[in-house]
């Protein structure tokens, strides 16, 4: 995957058409599992990810956001929180040139997740519960300096209760945002998953205080019926944190 021209995000206009596959409900499969399987089999991004060698369809979400907002640059240092199975890391490795770059043009990618991840050329993989005590310090130690981009695609197990799920994912988003303000370099970028309804006002206020541009983004690769979207904060103002 690496070493090729950076992958462009698919859009609704150029996404490949998948065959319409219907799945029958098996005795040991619930209706929800059947519907999930049917959706996977008919998802053009799932097909494209398999064809292009990406570990997940989520790779296209990051690719699309970067195509538009240009925050993954050659030589960049990226921390990817909630990285498993590694689709975002693959895009980051390509675009910051973590493998083929030289000198200042060679980037670095650190992927962090509580789940096991297969090794990835060009990325440092850490198995770690980011919400555990001292976890942020462990990541900082491996990073060994400032980061240009902090990504968070962390997600908690869904309970089915909308407000509970919203609170859980916001806790992850807030932890990632706090970490970002501690490690980002001047002008850096923070991007994190939130749920429909957007970012809580308190966190949004904090992001607007520390970043020049804050927006919500819904990539085409994010399923239309999904409540997920992303908050993208660019132009980190390091002085705003140092003066606190």
Alpha-carbon distance of 161 to 146, in angstroms, equals 38
Known catalytic residue at 193: yes
Q: Pick left, alpha or beta for residue 103 (phi over 0 → left; psi -120 to 50 → alpha; otherwise beta).
A: left
Strand partners, 108: 77
Under 8 Å between Cβ of 108 and 121: no
Is residue 160 a contact partner of residue 91, using CB atoms and an 8 Å limit?
no
> Please, which residues have CB within 8 angstroms of residue 190's CB and are 6 or more apart in sequence?
149, 150, 152, 176, 177, 180, 184, 207, 211, 231, 232, 233, 236
> On the CB side of 83, how many CA atoms lie within 13 Å of its CA?
30
d(CA 239, CA 210): 8
The single residue of 61, 97, 168, 193 carrying the catalytic annotation is 193
Q: 193 near 155, Cβ under 8 Å?
A: yes
Within 110-198, where are the H helices?
Answer: 135-143, 162-183
Cα(152)–Cα(161) distance, rounded to whole angstroms? 22
Cite the active site residues: 193
């Amino acid at each position: 995957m690496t070493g090729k021209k950076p992958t462009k995000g698919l859009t609704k206009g150029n996404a490949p058409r998948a065959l319409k596959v219907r799945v029958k409900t098996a005795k040991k499969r619930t209706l929800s599992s059947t519907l999930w399987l049917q959706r996977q089999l008919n998802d053009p991004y799932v097909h494209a990810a398999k064809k292009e060698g990406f570990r997940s369809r989520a790779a296209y979400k990051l690719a699309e956001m970067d195509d538009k907002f240009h925050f993954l640059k050659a030589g960049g240092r990226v921390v990817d929180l909630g990285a498993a199975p590694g689709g975002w890391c693959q895009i980051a490795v390509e675009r910051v040139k973590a493998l083929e770059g030289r000198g200042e043009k060679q980037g670095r990618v650190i992927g962090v997740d509580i789940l096991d991840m297969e090794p990835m050329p060009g990325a440092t993989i850490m198995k770690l519960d980011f919400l555990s005590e001292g976890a942020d310090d462990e990541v900082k130690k491996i990073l060994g300096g400032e980061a240009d981009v902090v990504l968070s695609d962390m997600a908690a197990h869904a309970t089915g209760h909308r407000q509970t799920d919203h609170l859980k994912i916001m806790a992850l988003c807030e932890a990632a945002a706090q970490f970002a303000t501690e490690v980002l370099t001047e002008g850096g970028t923070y991007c994190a998953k939130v749920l429909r309804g957007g970012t809580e006002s308190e966190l949004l206020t904090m992001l607007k205080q520390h970043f020049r541009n804050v927006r919500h983004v819904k990539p085409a690769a994010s399923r239309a019926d999904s409540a997920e979207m992303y908050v993208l904060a660019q132009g980190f103002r390091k002085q705003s944190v140092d003066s606190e």
